Amino acid sequence: MSFGKNVRRMRQDKGWSQFQLSEKTGIKVGHISKLEQDEGDPKLSTLYKLMDALGCSPDSLLMDVEKMNQDAILKQTLERAMKLPELNKAAIIEVIDGYCRACGMEQAFIPGNNLLRHFIAPRERLPIPEVLTGSQDAEP
């Protein structure tokens, strides 16, 4: 993924329009549009403004995901996950820990320690994101 695609993805992850990113960075909307289309190279000051507004590392902004190794992609994915609400973070930790245990790795947490238990009342279910259900009116 190119610099421009990274900027667009991170902006969209925050639910911002180009105008909103422009307001937060002081960069003109037209320039943001050109950056997202990979037209021209940004100045260092522009990179700093984008990193500050998007709350990202230089790596996640500049790296071409299609050319990254799996460790770098995992790092970038975890950086994105760190911005999720606590309940979602706990769910991701449970999934990763369960997968690691299924692969024969040592359990990361004390046996019986269910992180989600601290966030979810008994019998409460996590909502399934619409993107995973494929339908807006599907029951979680």
pLDDT tens digits along 78-114: 888 888 888 888 888 888 888 877 877 766 555 555 5
Same domain for 88 and 62: no
Query: Region 38-66: what's the mean pLDDT?
Result: 86
The CA distance from 27 to 89, in Å, is 32
Whether pTM exceeds 0.75: no
Same domain for 128 and 93: yes
Residue 117, pLDDT score: 55
First to last CA, the chain: 32
Q: Is residue 75 a part of any domain in this protein?
A: no
The CA distance from 51 to 49, in Å, is 6
The DSSP result for 54-72, as a single string, is HT--HHHHH--GGG--HHH
Find the CATH number of the domain harbouring 62.
1.10.260.40
Same domain for 29 and 63: yes
Q: Is residue 101 a part of any domain in this protein?
A: yes
Question: Which residue segment(s) compose the domain that 109 sits in?
Answer: 84-133
pLDDT digits (tens, 9 = 90+) for 12-49: 989 999 999 999 999 999 999 999 999 988 999 999 99
Q: Is residue 43 a part of any domain in this protein?
A: yes
Residue 138 has pLDDT above 50, yes or no: no
Measuring CA to CA, which residue among 11, 51, 48 is closest to residue 29? 11
Residue 57 has pLDDT above 70, yes or no: yes
Q: Is residue 33 a part of any domain in this protein?
A: yes
Q: Is residue 77 a part of any domain in this protein?
A: no
Q: What are phi and psi of 22, to 5 degrees?
A: -60, -45
Domain count, the chain: 2
